[in-house]
Amino acid sequence: MLHRALAISPNSFRANFELGRLLMGAEKYSDAEQPLLAAAQLAPTFSRTYFFLGKLRQKQDRHSEAEVFWAKFSDLDKIPENREIPLTDR
């Protein structure tokens, strides 16, 4: 269903984020990368995307990149508004 949502609205933050999160849970790390990166671009202040990107890089043995994403998550997550899923898509 999320693939269909992205076919209709490729710039949907919610569809990209949820698809990336779902693929991470299914351990399909290479497939999760594109939607998570798209979600980060569409809503650059939403902290949780960077948590998943850090986890993804860790699974890919790209530890220095993981640390960068986790640092961004930590900085953004200090602001409560950055923990709320954006209500609108671009």
CATH class of residue range 2-83: mainly alpha
Distance CA 80, CA 15 (A): 22
Token reading at 51: 């948590």
Write down the mean pLDDT value for the chain.
93
Q: Side chain identity at 43, as an amino acid letter?
A: A
Q: 33, exposed or middle or buried, with CB in 10 Å at 0-12, 13-18, 19+? A: middle
Confidence of residue 47 (pLDDT cuts 50, 70, 90): very high
7 pLDDT above the threshold of 90: no
Threshold 0.85, pTM exceeds: yes
So where are the chain's domains? 2-83
Alpha carbon separation from 30 to 37, 56, 74, 80 (Å, rounded)? 12, 9, 24, 30
